[in-house]
Chain A
Amino acid sequence: MDAVTGWWDDYFWGSMIVLQVFFFSLLLMVLFGLIGAAAKLSDNRLAQKIAGAYTVIFRGTPEILVILLLYFGSAITLTAIAQMFDPDIKFIDVPPMWAGTIAIALIVGSYATETFRGAFLGVKPGSIEAARALGMSNLQTFIYIRIPEMWRLALPPFGNHMLSLIKDTALISIIGLNETFFVAKQAIGTTGEPFTMYIVVGCIYLAFSTIITLSVMGMEKFGARTGEGAR
């Protein structure tokens, strides 16, 4: 493990990048998931079709392919647009971090779409009728009845989606994001100890997934405190 000594700070900053990508992709993932679920539950045929295509496409394609397509696709499009104004420009790309963040958010968002849809459908009709009987408006029913009931239903699969997100950040190193994986590659170049360096990366990811698993367990406990008995 001596070889790692000089690299701790690089690993630390790499982990910070993992965290940054995780948080932004989490926000986007929730957004995509909610929009997808809303579209699937809406009465609009076209919206249903688009959301259906979205889930089929992103659940049926390998993650690495989506990342490569988004990164190189956006680069070639941007370069072509830029060359229309200035023919001297050779190459412009979307920073790998953002291309990657959007790519993994789109992928996991397609899974989240199904989760949110199921959770909204899982809200008991009786609860909504009770809210109506109490004279709550649609908005009040949504905020006080639907949301509290659905997040409890969505939480266990949502925890898995967060784990997928954190693990998918490793794939972004393929298009050149300088996160922990990338740090390991550099470190191997100078130390020649691939096993040690990649094990450190594995431990970092294991720590992240442990934290996520524990927080989801805590939230489940918090959600169940007022549930109906042992749920």
Chain B
Amino acid sequence: MSFDLSLITESIPKMLAGIGITFQLMFLSAVLGLILAVILLLMRISGKWYLSWPAQVHIYIFRGTPILVQIFIIYYGLPQFEFIRDSVFWPILREPFGCAVLALTLNTGAYVSEILRGGVLGVDRGVLEAGSALGLSARQKFIYLTTPIATRLALPAYSNDFISLMKATSLASTITLLDMTGIARTIVAQTFAPYEVFISLAIIYMILTWIIQKSFGRIEKYLSRYVNP
């Protein structure tokens, strides 16, 4: 056993070839997941049981089971049914990429919706009372008061979830997708040099984590520019 430096310099460019897929998975699921999270949030705070219950069930299921199980149910499980193979969604569900995006979206949507709810609940009541005193309607209060303040409150937790999402994209390698982790696993299977390959990949992921943290730090600073002078 030895530490092979040339293998590292060889395998890093190979693994970076998969960073495109990692980014696509990450950004697509982040955007779709955020949309889903807002919908789930609105359903939960609507005050109507037939809207809030389904949202709560979704959140309960997707936060209570491992993401790996969700990916496998969608990729390997759904094709068991004839009507899914005949449906219009089949072109998406047939591809591992589509399944990975779907699973990551449903999963991150559940988590982010809870984070956003924390932000909404954290909005000071005095602000909303002031809004009522100024004659704002419920919708105006939500758009002009709750949304900006809740966004600011939820952002630190959201950045953590974004990092979890980035790390979760590596699970796409379990359904034959060749993202960075998938490529690394192929290289290790050929060379049987886990240290060199996996440690280099871990460093790439750590750099990504660091970049995400810094970027969210910037956004946080920008959003609280009136709060912390």
Which chain A residues have a beta carbon within 8 Å of chain B's beta carbons?
Answer: 56-57, 59-66, 68-69, 72-73, 76-77, 79-80, 163, 167-171, 173-174, 181, 184, 188, 192-199, 201-202, 205-206, 209-210, 213
Contact = CB atoms under 8 A, between A and B. Distances in A.
B21 interface: no
B64 A76 contact: no
A67 B72 CA distance: 19
Interface of B: 1, 60-61, 63-70, 72-73, 76-81, 163, 167-171, 173-174, 181, 184-185, 188, 192-195, 198-199, 201-202, 205-206, 209-210
Chain B contact residues: helix, strand, loop or mixed: helix
A21 to B, nearest CB: 13
Given A64-B171, A167-B65, A202 B70 contact: yes
A89 B64 CA distance: 43
Contacts of A59: 163, 209
Contacts of B63: 163, 209
B209 A72 contact: no
B185 to A, nearest CB: 7
A77 B193 CA distance: 11
Given A76-B1, A174-B174, A210-B64, A60 B185 contact: no
A195 B77 contact: yes
A206 B80 contact: no
B188 A72 contact: yes
28 contacts: A57-B206, A62-B167, A62-B205, A64-B170, A65-B205, A68-B188, A68-B194, A69-B195, A72-B188, A72-B192, A72-B198, A77-B1, A80-B1, A167-B65, A167-B67, A171-B68, A174-B174, A192-B80, A194-B80, A195-B81, A197-B77, A198-B72, A198-B77, A199-B73, A205-B65, A205-B66, A209-B63, A210-B64
